[in-house]
Structure 1
């Protein structure tokens, strides 16, 4: 039997303050990312085109990807480190904890300056599209260092924990693996800077930055997916209690998330890191390793849920808590992540098939899981969920909208619609219909995302309840005896 999480009855004021600060920061980043996503999607929608020029589109696209795939995700992952530490009795160094938060916030502010002023050439590379100006690079590195400080603080807390408390829980171990991968990402960027030098210096900017962020980008994929799997188990564990999975096997699978990224800095020492064929070969190997733990831990989780159904499947389905946000975010997260894995962007590179893949995997799978845990964190902050009916509808709107968006991107990509292009909606009549589907889905997903940000912000900015813990209603799965 796997100990998922050793739950403390209440958080200390210091733990609650740190968790609150990280969560509010993450929700703010999500709100910015969602607003920018709406502008990008509507500009790509035939007959709409909000942004007036290709330059504006490129800058807003870069800002959207930066806030959606880097700042929001890593800020929330940092929030999860704080939450898991408090839940598991892991003491975090106070100075390190706040230094990580403040450093990340400063980095975000610095990044926002060139975006707001439209400074620098737009370089739409993979992993980290950016504005080629020192201020953007400094802000990004500062933000990443803050996340690295938070990850290191968590690992130090794990190392110093009282051994008499027993083995590390599955949730705490999984986040330790994510922390290792995060530190490898920081190291990979440092190694790349040493090997490539700072600045393109006459080299092709797109090729230079693609190589600069290659190792870091792959490592951060492990961080996001590892945390998503941890959140899956945490959300299901809230309703089903202890898992009957083999603890050693589950932890061995999670360890892959920490061990595989260790290879990320190696290519920078073996050959010219700008060489594309070798970099792609390493990338395929790292991507393959990323899928292994998910292929085992995902189905095992579904088996665990299925075994709680009892004998009457119809009754089980009827009694499922379809109106519980934490349950439905998990369900939709698993569906969208699995669907995204079936989309191979390499099949039609340079088309909208690629953003269809990562919107399904990251915006769908990872972000929806994070939304579910964010709702639960409110109870630990003594803040009830505002607008409960909206919270019930929110996962449905966000997920169904994403399904439309991904379907539209995938259909247009298969017809050859180019990615990262301002006039993609109007230059190809062949993909006009799927782009309309994409725009409609994006509008619905944007509404669901705005509802999430509004609900979370409204809940967080309200005065906390008295000392008692505010719990969201917990309808249990049929056949379960969990907390």
Structure 2
């Protein structure tokens, strides 16, 4: 095969690209759109709640300011609720929005029941610190408060997620053999559904197999380890779908044919199937079981992320300058997402020991996914019947949020180089030098800027949501 033939397989013909953007999905106008709106509202409610807790969280770790709070206990409680709302609930809600748009119009009662359970569970988790006292347990992936209200809310939310995934798999569209860019995106969304289903199975298996006699920290660490790792494949697939979709929406020519894109998305999915093998091959409490999940995540990520990321970057670099004001927020969200995810991945290469480099890596990758989802919200708002986000506020929000988060993780990496421990605050941080204090101060400043950026996202979206409400009243 000649180099020309290979290039033709990877790069869509120029004449075709000039008249069409290949990686786009149509939004249905029936009840599926109303369902997608519901999941969007749940995601926005989760972000508002996490923003309130993150403000208190950052204050509790900022040198000098943190003396105003009962630091240690309050920090951990705030961290638990902040993480679960801003990661678990936000990601599942936005996934629910995308899966609803990608589904066939069947079994609607399942779909609405899933949303109702998700909303009830989220409300209980958010209010739990004020309803019943509970010990914060800083387990990886899903930290918890050891209280009836919080654990009950988490269980209800989990049931809603299981019903959402079951409906998504049942209602998934059939792709067939021949497909275009939209088919590749649908495959990516279906793949994220499968990854989430595997994660739910892993959670169920861990909860069944984990010894009950362990203390809280050890129990939940084991119980959430396998499923938590499997969920990262789902988040990554959603992000990759977002990158391709956003790039095409702003007129970028992504040099990947739909078949190559599908192959890369399939590779991103493949490693998740190490998860059931880990449960069959090793005891859930063994080091081998734990390491196998970590190995699978490291292997599966870069294989697809790097080529898709480079293709999207090429498309952005060679695209014609757009004068459409609606493209500004989409472009900013896409660039910020790719930059933060790359920073998080790079930091992960240099992690050694248990210090704040670990949350720096995690923050970078998670924020990369968050920004991609923010961009998709901006893209889909007018297609869901709301106003398109335009103007300076919408254009600058992703950049401000991204800069704040970048400062946040740079501060964490800086402090991690001095051995500052993770998941502690105030005096427990044991900041011995000016450099350590400066690093954590940069972290705090970046966190505050990121909070402002996150609040601006809520403001921009809220204005769009209110506009349709006012239009309907008229």
Common fold, TM-score beyond 0.5? yes
Check 1:166–1:353 CA distance in 2 against 1; reply closer, same or farther (3 A cut): closer
Structure 1 residue runs of 4 or more that deviate by more than 4 Å after TM superposition: 161-168, 241-244, 318-323, 464-467
TM-score by length of 1: 0.85
Give the counterpart of 2:154 among 128, 140, 143.
140
Check 1:72–1:162 CA distance in 2 against 1; reply closer, same or farther (3 A cut): closer
Aligned pair 1:284/2:284, yes or no?
A: no
List gaps (5 residues or longer) in structure 2: 1-11, 13-20
Give the counterpart of 1:91 among 94, 102, 105.
105
Displacement of 1:282 in angstroms is 3.5
Q: Secondary structure at the match of 1:272?
A: coil
Which moves more between the two structures, 94-103 or 237-246?
237-246
Aligned pair 1:352/2:352, yes or no?
A: no
Give the counterpart of 1:20 among 18, 37, 40.
37
Check 1:84–1:156 CA distance in 2 against 1; reply closer, same or farther (3 A cut): same
- 1:205 and 1:59 mapped to 2: Cα distance? 15
Q: Equivalent residue for 2:56?
A: 39
Displacement of 1:443 in angstroms is 1.3
Q: Secondary structure at the match of 2:399?
A: helix
Q: Secondary structure at the match of 1:131?
A: strand
Aligned pair 1:435/2:440, yes or no?
A: yes
Displacement of 1:276 in angstroms is 2.7
| RMSD of equivalent CA atoms | 2.7
Q: How many residues align?
A: 449
Determine if contact 1:398/1:449 at 8 Å carries over to the other structure: yes
Q: Equivalent residue for 1:68?
A: 86
List gaps (5 residues or longer) in structure 1: 310-315, 468-483
Displacement of 1:26 in angstroms is 0.3
Give the counterpart of 1:361 among 361, 365, 390.
365
- 1:17 and 1:320 mapped to 2: Cα distance? 27
- 2:277 and 2:153 mapped to 1: Cα distance? 26
TM-score by length of 2: 0.87
Q: Equivalent residue for 2:205?
A: 191
- 1:347 and 1:384 mapped to 2: Cα distance? 43
Q: Deviations over 1:180-221 (max 9, x none)?
A: 001111111111122126xxx431322221111111101110
Give the counterpart of 1:295 among 283, 287, 306.
306
Determine if contact 2:229/2:294 at 8 Å carries over to the other structure: yes
Which moves more between the two structures, 371-380 or 282-291?
282-291
Determine if contact 1:5/1:172 at 8 Å carries over to the other structure: no
Determine if contact 2:254/2:314 at 8 Å carries over to the other structure: no
Aligned pair 1:462/2:462, yes or no?
A: no
Q: Secondary structure at the match of 1:419?
A: coil
Displacement of 1:424 in angstroms is 5.5
Q: Secondary structure at the match of 2:276?
A: coil
